[in-house]
């Protein structure tokens, strides 16, 4: 359901199976061993008390005070946070509505609604290179009901801006890295450059004459280009734009030499035969563009990818973090979700909270070095 503004709600159906219908249906369809069958079998194997005694004990457990304890143990084993979620979940998208990240948030939100029978609101809060939406998320209650979609910008901003209205380490707990996606270097098909080697040869012969476009100073594409520049020891002119569309327009018009962007953003013009891909920035070739070389094939050691992930407010109880992380991993690995993400040129990661936390630390250190070396400043 789309609401006015930048809100999107995934609401549960008015009528349909309840949250336990799958369990009940499974029990009705197949009469398998009950929860105490293992206990009874073990007692029988050891030639312990007879069936009448076991039956009496079982009846006492079910009718007596032991019933609550057994029931609680079963629930804890199946669900680490049985009372969560207790109200609608909010997913903050710190970018403009309508983009790829919002689409991912909406798809995940719908799956969470189907799983937990709670509405999920996708709230797009763009501004200041994701700082606006991130600050809002940092002030949310630490109860797991507010999630934040993040990209590589989350790891770049601390070194690019220095002082932020939030602390990305202290104020958030990582839940999952959804994907990793390389940037791509494209030129106009009228360009004489057929590969990165051609481009580097020309840049060395004409220092300071070639230019590259990016969607903004300090963005992942900008810093990807700066890493190429520093590793190749060449001089290039950076032309920052307010987003990808105007940069593509100027590349097609011949006003810039090349563009660093995402494969998804360049795909329509590449399919139309107007743009040519020279390289991807990941260490391995991209499955969507298997014929496009990696930057590392020309500049050994070059390896940069952009990430997408989800974090939650620090202080959220561990059992809720675990429940969210497990649910998100299962959703991302669903065939329809995975297929859509991979169709955008992304590699599905679906990491655990612990693995994602370590990855974010490495990303922050890597981008801090690139920001320092490039001298990048906020727009």
Rounded to whole angstroms, what are the CA distances from 83 to 6, 10, 13, 75, 144?
29, 20, 21, 11, 12
Listed in sequence order, the DSSP H helices in the chain are 21-29, 37-45, 51-63, 66-78, 100-116, 131-138, 153-161, 196-205, 220-232, 244-252, 263-271, 318-332, 335-343, 353-374
DSSP tally for the chain: helices H, then strands E: 14, 11
Say yes or no to pLDDT of 376 above 90.
no
What digits encode the pLDDT tens for the residues 98-107?
778 899 999 9
What digits encode the pLDDT tens for the residues 258-275?
999 988 788 889 989 999
Q: pTM of this prediction?
A: 0.75
Among 116-120, 202-206, 268-272, 343-347, the minimum mean pLDDT is found in 343-347
Rounded to whole angstroms, what are the CA distances from 367 to 184, 266, 300, 304?
18, 23, 18, 10
Give the pLDDT confidence score for residue 219 in this predicted structure: 86
Q: Which of 284, 311, 313 is nearest to 297 (CA)?
A: 284
What digits encode the pLDDT tens for the residues 298-313?
999 999 999 999 999 9
Say yes or no to pLDDT of 173 above 90.
yes
Look at domain 182-305 and name its CATH class.
alpha beta
247 close to 215: Cβ distance less than 8 angstroms: yes
Percent of all residues in the chain with a pLDDT value above 70, rounded to a whole number: 80
The two domains 89-180+309-374 and 182-305 share their CATH topology (first three levels equal):
yes
Domain ranges of the chain: 89-180+309-374, 182-305
* CA gap 320, 335 in Å, rounded: 25
Q: Name the phi and psi angles at 130, rounded to 5.
A: 75, 0
Q: Which of 156, 116, 66, 145 is nearest to 368 (CA)?
A: 156
Look at domain 89-180+309-374 and name its CATH class.
alpha beta
Among 70-74, 211-215, 363-367, 370-374, the minimum mean pLDDT is found in 70-74
357 close to 118: Cβ distance less than 8 angstroms: no
Give the pLDDT confidence score for residue 264 in this predicted structure: 78
Residue 233 zone, left/alpha/beta (φ > 0; ψ -120 to 50; rest): left
Q: Which of 295, 299, 273, 268 is nearest to 284 (CA)?
A: 295
Q: Which two tokens stand for residue 147?
A: 């999630």
Q: Which two tokens stand for residue 173?
A: 């707990």
* CA gap 104, 99 in Å, rounded: 9
Average pLDDT (142-158) is 96
């Amino acid at each position: 359901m789309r609401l006015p503004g930048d809100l999107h709600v995934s609401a549960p159906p008015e009528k349909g199976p309840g949250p336990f219908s799958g369990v009940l249906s499974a029990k009705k369809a197949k009469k398998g061993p009950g929860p105490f069958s293992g206990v009874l079998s073990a007692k029988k194997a050891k030639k312990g008390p007879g069936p009448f005694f076991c039956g009496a004990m079982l009846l006492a457990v079910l009718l007596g005070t032991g019933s609550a304890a057994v029931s609680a143990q079963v629930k804890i084993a199946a669900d680490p946070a049985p009372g969560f979620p207790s109200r609608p979940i909010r997913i903050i998208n710190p970018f403009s509505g309508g983009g790829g990240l919002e689409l991912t948030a909406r798809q995940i939100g719908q799956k969470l609604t189907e799983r937990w029978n709670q509405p999920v609101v996708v709230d797009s809060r763009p501004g200041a290179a994701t700082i606006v939406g991130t600050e809002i998320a940092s002030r949310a209650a630490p109860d797991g009901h507010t999630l934040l979609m993040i990209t590589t910008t989350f790891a770049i901003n601390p070194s690019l801006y220095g002082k932020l209205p939030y602390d990305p380490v202290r104020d958030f707990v990582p839940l999952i890295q959804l994907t990793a996606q390389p940037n791509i270097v494209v030129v106009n098909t009228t360009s004489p450059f057929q590969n990165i080697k051609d481009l580097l040869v020309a840049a060395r012969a004409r220092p300071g004459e070639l230019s590259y476009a990016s969607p903004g100073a300090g963005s992942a594409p900008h810093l990807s280009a700066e890493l190429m520049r520093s590793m190749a020891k060449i001089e290039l002119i950076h032309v920052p734009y307010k987003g990808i569309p105007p940069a593509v327009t100027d590349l097609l018009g011949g006003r810039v030499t090349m563009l660093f962007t995402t494969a998804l953003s360049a795909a329509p013009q590449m399919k139309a035969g107007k743009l040519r891909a020279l390289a991807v920035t990941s260490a391995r070739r991209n499955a969507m563009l298997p014929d496009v070389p990696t930057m590392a094939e020309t500049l050994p050691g070059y390896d940069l990818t952009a990430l997408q992930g989800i974090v939650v407010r620090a202080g959220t109880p561990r059992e809720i973090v675990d429940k969210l992380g497990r649910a998100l991993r299962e959703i991302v690995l669903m065939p329809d979700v995975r297929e859509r993400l991979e169709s955008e040129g992304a590699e599905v990661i679906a990491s655990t909270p612990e693995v994602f936390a370590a990855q974010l630390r490495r990303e922050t250190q890597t981008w801090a070095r690139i920001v320092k070396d490039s001298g990048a400043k906020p727009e």
